[in-house]
Amino acid sequence: MPQPPEHDWIEARLVGARPRAMAALLRYFRDLDLAEEAFQDACLRALKSWPKNGPPRDAEGWLIMVGRNAAIDHVRRQAKLTELPPEDAISDKGDVEPDLAERLDAADYRDDILRLLFVCCHPELPATQQVALALRIVSGLSVQEIARTFLVNERAMEQRITRAKARVAKAGVPFETPGPVERAERFAAVSAMIYLVFNEGYTDANPASERASLCGEAIRLARLMLRMFPSEPEMMGLLALMLLQHSRQGARFDETGVPILLDDQDRSLWNRSMIAEALAMIDKAMLHHQPGPYQIQAAIAALHARAGKPEDTDWAGIDQLYAALERRAPSPVVTLNRAVAIWKLKGPQAALDMIAPLSDALDGYFYFHGVRGTFLRQLGRNNEARDAFAAAVTLAGTAAEAAHIRNALDQLENCSTRQT
């Protein structure tokens, strides 16, 4: 919601309070639209009263109580003479207890926020709807902002979010406190959704764009999860992974938006404070002795971050970590990434042999053809490399990716010209 500069402090409070307040209102009303309207009403009242009276001692508790009361008044006005359902049918009675503010950090409120995030990444929703719904409900981005981020018109995004809400309502998502098994499943789903948000922004060549700002929003969501669940090593791993990847944002593209390979990046442009935080977080996660995919990926990124120069990279360690990742989360993409380490350690032929069995599974994957073309060029098999790069160009997801491969094709042509 646009606000004058003197209200910046209020906006910061509202943004910070949104996840917890929305989670409690959703548990109370069991309706995404009504919970969202209740929160917006509370925000409008905050904009009127906080500049005069100052912020309340607990912003979340204030917004929950004001939003709930405003929504109940609205429902009564709409229903006119129709009575509301019994109180125990529409709320958990704990929400109306006077010590609400003191209970915000209790386990039930942690479950509320986890439930709110889980609602947004319900398995019946396509990934694009999961991300859009999370950005709207949890992060509070406007439909217009989300539409610009996804490069679609506002009406199309409004329809996407509306369909997502309808699917959630139809699915009848339960509101009871999740047990240990379900909580683990929800946590994994939430982690995947947060990483989807990050990756939506990671591919943008302009670090100042709205789309690129999704990286910061994903990092903020991961921090929120860690504040609630500070001993979850996989969330530590995910946050560390995103920090390490985001730390290279200023060095990943040239002035025309063409990607710069890791070995060619100016490492003085890497954000060292992000790297230091991530490295400390990885060390903390490893103390739990529960390695998972995000932790392993973060450890791989950390070996790159620790190398002052490309030739200092511990490729043997990276190969071992990818081997561990193959065991825990096997996929053709993981093997493809491991092949780059094998290339550095044993040469292009060994790497080419490793990815040969992946051709069917990854035939429609841009990076497979790009990497394969690189190995073939290293072996002097220029005609095959040219075909691989040409296939990569047709599969490029962005103009920057296509430009990068065209540069590789140009270099190949120049090399062939010199040889003839």
**pLDDT per position in the chain (420 positions), as tens?**
444 445 667 887 888 788 888 888 887 888 888 888 888 898 898 888 888 888 888 888 899 888 888 888 877 777 654 555 555 544 444 443 334 434 434 445 566 777 788 788 777 788 888 888 888 888 778 888 888 777 788 899 999 998 888 888 777 766 555 667 777 777 888 888 888 889 888 877 677 776 778 888 899 889 988 987 889 999 999 999 999 999 999 999 888 888 898 999 999 999 999 999 999 999 999 999 999 999 999 999 999 999 999 999 999 999 999 999 999 999 999 999 999 999 999 999 999 999 999 999 999 999 999 999 999 999 999 999 999 999 999 988 777 778 888 888 887 777 655 444
Separation of alpha carbons 119 and 172, rounded Å = 10
Q: Which residues pair with 259 in a beta bridge?
A: 253
CATH number at residue 378: 1.25.40.10
* Model pLDDT, residue 81: 47
Number of helices (H) and strands (E) in the chain: give both, helices first.
19, 0
Dist CA 402 CA 395 (whole Å):
8
Using CA atoms, how far residue 290 sits from 31, 86, 183, in Å, is: 37, 46, 17
Predicted local distance difference test score (pLDDT) of residue 109: 55
Domain end call among 77, 104, 131: 104
Q: Which of 104, 130, 157 is the last residue of a domain?
A: 104
Predicted local confidence at residue 143, as pLDDT: 86
Q: Has residue 109 been placed in a domain? A: no
Kindly state whether residue 284 falls inside one of the protein's structural domains: no
- Pick the last residue of a domain from 86, 104, 122: 104
Closest CA to 411 of 381, 377, 384, 379: 377
Q: What is the pLDDT of residue 108?
A: 53
In this structure, what token pair is assigned to residue 143? 């439909």
Say how far apart CA 366 and CA 66 lie, in whole Å.
51
- Contact yes or no for 134/191 (Cβ under 8 A): no
Asked if residue 398 is part of any domain, the answer here is yes
Residue 250 lies in a domain: no
| Under 8 Å between Cβ of 295 and 232 | no
Q: How far apart are CA 289 and CA 279, in angstroms?
A: 16
Measure the CA angle with vertex 129, ends 233 and 162; round to 5°: 135
Burial class, 32, CB count within 10 angstroms (exposed 0-12 / middle 13-18 / buried 19+): buried
Q: Which residues have a Cβ under 8 Å from the Cβ of 258 and sit 6 or more positions away?
A: 205, 400, 403, 404, 407
Domain coverage including residue 26: 1-104
**∠ CA 98-101-102, rounded to 5°:** 90
Instruction: Pull the structure tokens for residue 45.
Output: 């009242």
Q: What is the CA radius of gyration of the chain?
A: 25
Can you give the pLDDT at residue 90? 45
Three-class secondary structure of residue 270 per DSSP: coil
- The interaxial angle of helices 107-120 and 214-228, nearest 10 deg, is 150
Whether 200 is covered by a domain: the verdict is no
Locate 120 and state its tokens: 């947004």
Answer whether residue 187 is part of any domain: no
Does 186 map to a domain?
no
Domains in the chain: how many in total?
Answer: 2
CB 282 within 8 A of CB 237: yes
In a domain, 270, yes or no: no
Cβ proximity of 31 and 175 under 8 Å: no
Give the long-range contacts of residues 157-164, CB within 8 A, separation 24 or more: 157/132, 160/128, 160/129, 160/132, 161/129, 161/132, 161/133, 161/136, 163/129, 164/125, 164/129, 164/130, 164/132, 164/133
CB 355 within 8 A of CB 336: yes
